[in-house]
Amino acid sequence: MSSLDKDSPVPLYYQLAELIRESILAGNLRPGDRLPGEREMSEQAGISRMTARQALSYLVREGLVTVRPGVGTFVAEPKRTHPVLHLLGFTEEVLRQGGRAHSRVLEQRVIDAPPYVAAMLGMSDGEAVIKVTRLRYANDDPILLETTYVPQALCPGLEDYDLSNSSIYGLMESRYGLTIAGAHQTIEASVANEYELEQFGLARPIGVIVMEGVTYSEDGKAVEYSKAIYRGDRVKFELQSERARPASDKTTAVVSLLVE
């Protein structure tokens, strides 16, 4: 392990964390590799166990390593790219990248549309919608908690499908003849509440990224309203944009969501 500069104003834990990060990004430490324990790390680097613990905690928050209680600390799996503006569903994107996608269905039933859902979908209050709440997994890692509302009139019987391993977008297009054209979405940062932490199987507080929006069919009809809560320790956003020029009033932005 490279030596740390104890005379630097940069905290020792941060220096150590950056050295480990560089080893991970360079491929010297690979996914699944076990990191030294606090004691071994402190002896190798000539620092206190508290400093080693701080460095590991920092890397956990960054999503670069994961802790398996009673086993040790391991390099996390590499992140996957989900192009949000290309509007691939979660299942479609994970499968495209060669991963395994599945869901645990928490709720799937027909309800009267709440006023805010009806407003988002351009429906009358009380019209029937299919509500689906799922905990979504990439491989075996719970990544997001998603609640979706679909007008029942557009997709009758959707409430009876097994949605633990199916894409709602895929069913809309293959079973109901709808062509998904685009969506209007908002993204904001928040903090996980007790229910969300429980579903993710986490005891410690984490930040979350909330994506909320309406999906439209080719003929401009609102076909879905959804609220997706992504684990902040498992995702990050990558933004590429073009500066608008005087000759054009159009700005193009490509947003990619990176998930482990």
Nearest to 128 by CA among 108, 154, 110: 110
Full-model pTM: 0.66
All domains in the chain, ordered by first residue: 12-75 (1.10.10.10), 80-259 (3.40.1410.10)
Q: Along the chain (260 residues), what's the average pLDDT of each consecutive run of 10 residues?
A: 76 88 85 91 90 90 84 81 53 68 90 90 93 90 92 96 89 93 87 90 88 92 93 74 59 47
Measure Cα distances from 109 to 49, 104, 147, 181 in Å: 51, 15, 12, 26
Distance CA 55, CA 156 (A): 52
pLDDT tens for 199-216 read 999 888 888 989 899 999
pLDDT tens for 17-72 read 888 988 887 788 998 999 999 999 999 888 999 999 999 988 887 778 888 888 99
